[in-house]
């Protein structure tokens, strides 16, 4: 427990850790460790930074989930982004994280170096501002992310519509969290016992979209904040559910997450988006109803329709990520980053070969940053 | 992208489109407050409020203490510097 002193409230942290140990030794199987998935990359980051895994009893194992929107982006989508950026007259705008993700040909950063007008923005509203200033150019915003960023892109589109802007569109690659969770739950390679659910996604969607996890799959779930103490408390709540034989959706992050979610945000999402029949996600393959698209009523702001892009989302499953890169297995939690032959060798944060190494929220980047280069618990 | 940075609303910029100036770690920028405004919290009453800002949109309210703790966490995780840098680069008060 070498990092315990770094906690803002070490006494509470110690108490929670002791409680978890007590419950684990009296109520959990000593041979079959409990597998708990933290869905969100932000949680993975906190787990590593504070060495939380090493404080847990041996019969509790964390499985790092795919909850980093950049990490589940298939290479084919990056290729599509580059193809859009290469069209004459286009200004391609994106969040910084997406710039360095490799495609099969190149990353957006390389496309920029090769002369494409690719611009990093902090907000989709910045992209809208660029569109206002450049009426003769088509400004495309790469809309990606789970429900945390969906309201912002939807509201930006609605604003463009209100202003009657003709030169702004979204390349929509958003994903919904519950459908992604369902795909994980039905993956035959994964044995999971419970979830820590993402705090900020839940702030938008509320608690009820997770009801199916407990009802249909009988896995308890706790919505969790990002402080180390939040995570310890949520783990304690989850283990307590096992100990007491309960299976519920609980909300540890109630100070930010309202039961019903964010009403205005959900309204904007429902107005602008609908689910797609097929979408391909890195590591998870083709998941029905997880991806979303822009409704017909707003087709004028849909880059796919407007620019007549050379790909067909409906086909899904492009799946040509190189064989020797194990991103898909790491994403699904069936392989640890250090088991990938490229890890810390040809693939590192300076030269990422997969998205998991790009964003600090990706599990490969987290393992790398905190020196966990092989299976040694003391190196955590 | 998903963590969000706490900021304090300092003034209203556009009541019709619900744009407010928000001080995020000393950088002031326009933020859309649609998602935190409702009958209980009309826009006019928001000045001084702390909000969690994701990609230029206020997505949730938080109290001052929570805001301080979140800012400290982000600084420790090293996540904030990169976002702040982007915010500065793309014109903080655009
Ligand atoms: S080390 Fe690189 S190539 Fe291997 S799984 Fe991680 S991101 Fe993918």
pLDDT reported for residue A377: 45
pLDDT reported for residue A317: 45
Tell whether ligand 1 has an atom less than 6 A from the beta carbon of residue A331.
no
* Res A163 pLDDT > 50: yes
Tell whether ligand 1 has an atom less than 6 A from the beta carbon of residue A358.
no
pLDDT reported for residue B93: 42
CA-A341 nearest atom, ligand 1: 4
Could you tell me if A237 lies within 8 Å of chain B, comparing CB atoms? no
pLDDT reported for residue A375: 63
Is there a contact between A64 and A44 (Cβ–Cβ < 8 Å)? yes
Element (DSSP H or E) covering residue A243: helix A228-244
The pLDDT confidence band at residue A202, using thresholds 50, 70 and 90, is very high
What is the predicted ipTM? Answer: 0.88
A158 or A332: whose pLDDT is higher?
A: A158
pLDDT reported for residue A360: 74
* Res A209 pLDDT > 50: yes
The pLDDT confidence band at residue A229, using thresholds 50, 70 and 90, is very high
Give distance in angstroms: CA of A96 to centre of ligand 1. 19
Of A197-211, A247-261, A292-306, B75-89, give the lowest mean pLDDT range.
Answer: B75-89
pLDDT reported for residue B91: 55
Distance CA A275, CA A286 (A): 14
* Res A220 pLDDT > 90: yes
Is there a contact between A198 and A226 (Cβ–Cβ < 8 Å)? no
Tell me the chain A residues in contact with residue B30 when contact means C-beta distances shorter than 8 Å: 125
| CB-based contacts of A270, cutoff 8 Å, min separation 6 | none
Nearest to A358 by CA among A62, A126, A181, A109: A109
pLDDT reported for residue B2: 65
Nearest CA to ligand 1 atom 3: A325
| CB-based contacts of A88, cutoff 8 Å, min separation 6 | none
Distance CA B13, CA B32 (A): 10
The pLDDT confidence band at residue A289, using thresholds 50, 70 and 90, is confident
What would the mean pLDDT of A287-315 be, rounded to a whole number? 82
* Averaged pLDDT of chain A: 88
Strands of A34-40's sheet in order across: A60-67, A34-40, A194-198, A221-224, A249-251
Give pLDDT tens digits along chain B (94 positions): 567 899 999 999 999 889 999 998 888 999 999 999 999 999 999 999 999 999 999 999 999 988 888 888 888 777 667 677 777 776 544 4
Whole-number percent of chain A with pLDDT over 70: 93
């Amino acid at each position: 427990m070498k990092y315990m002193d770094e906690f803002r409230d070490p006494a509470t942290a110690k108490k929670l850790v002791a409680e978890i140990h007590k419950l684990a030794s009296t109520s959990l199987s000593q041979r079959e460790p409990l597998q708990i998935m933290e869905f969100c990359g932000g949680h993975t980051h906190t787990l590593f930074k504070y060495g939380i895994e090493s404080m847990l009893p041996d019969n509790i194992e964390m499985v790092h989930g795919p909850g980093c929107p950049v990490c589940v982006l298939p290479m084919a989508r990056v290729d599509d982004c580059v193809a859009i950026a290469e069209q004459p007259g286009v200004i391609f705008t994106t969040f910084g994280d997406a710039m360095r993700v490799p495609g099969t040909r190149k990353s957006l950063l390389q496309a920029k170096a090769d002369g494409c007008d690719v611009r990093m923005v902090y907000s989709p509203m910045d992209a809208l501002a660029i569109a206002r200033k450049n009426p003769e150019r088509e400004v495309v915003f790469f809309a990606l992310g789970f429900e945390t960023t969906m309201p912002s892109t939807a509201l930006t589109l609605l604003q463009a519509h209100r202003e009657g802007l003709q030169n702004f569109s979204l390349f929509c690659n958003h994903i919904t969290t519950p459908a992604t969770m369902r795909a994980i739950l039905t993956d035959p390679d994964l044995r999971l016992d419970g979830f820590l659910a993402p705090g900020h996604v839940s702030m938008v969607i509320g608690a009820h979209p997770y009801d199916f996890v407990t009802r249909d799959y009988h896995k308890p779930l706790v919505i969790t904040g990002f402080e180390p103490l939040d995570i310890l408390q949520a783990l304690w709540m989850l283990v307590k559910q096992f100990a007491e034989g309960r299976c519920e959706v609980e909300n540890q992050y109630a100070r930010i997450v309202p039961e019903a979610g964010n009403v205005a945000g959900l309204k904007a999402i429902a107005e602008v988006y609908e689910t797609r029949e097929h979408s391909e996600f890195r590591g998870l393959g083709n998941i029905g109803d997880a991806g979303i698209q822009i409704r017909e009523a707003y087709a004028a702001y849909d880059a796919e329709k407007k620019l007549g892009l050379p790909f067909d989302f409906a086909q899904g499953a492009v799946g040509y990520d190189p064989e020797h890169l194990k991103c898909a297995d790491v994403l699904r939690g069936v392989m640890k980053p250090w088991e990938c032959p490229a890890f810390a060798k040809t693939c590192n944060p300076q030269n990422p070969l997969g998205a998991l190494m790009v964003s600090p929220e990706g599990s490969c980047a987290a393992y790398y940053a905190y020196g966990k280069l092989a299976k040694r618990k003391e190196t955590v | 992208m998903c963590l969000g940075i706490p900021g304090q609303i300092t003034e209203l910029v556009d009541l019709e489109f619900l744009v407010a100036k928000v001080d995020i770690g000393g950088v002031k920028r326009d933020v859309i407050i649609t998602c935190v405004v409702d009958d209980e919290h009309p826009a006019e009453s928001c000045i001084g409020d702390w909000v969690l800002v994701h990609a230029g949109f206020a997505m949730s309210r938080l109290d001052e203490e929570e805001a301080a703790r979140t800012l400290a966490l982000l600084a420790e995780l090293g996540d904030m510097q990169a976002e702040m840098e982007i915010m500065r680069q793309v014109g903080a008060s655009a």
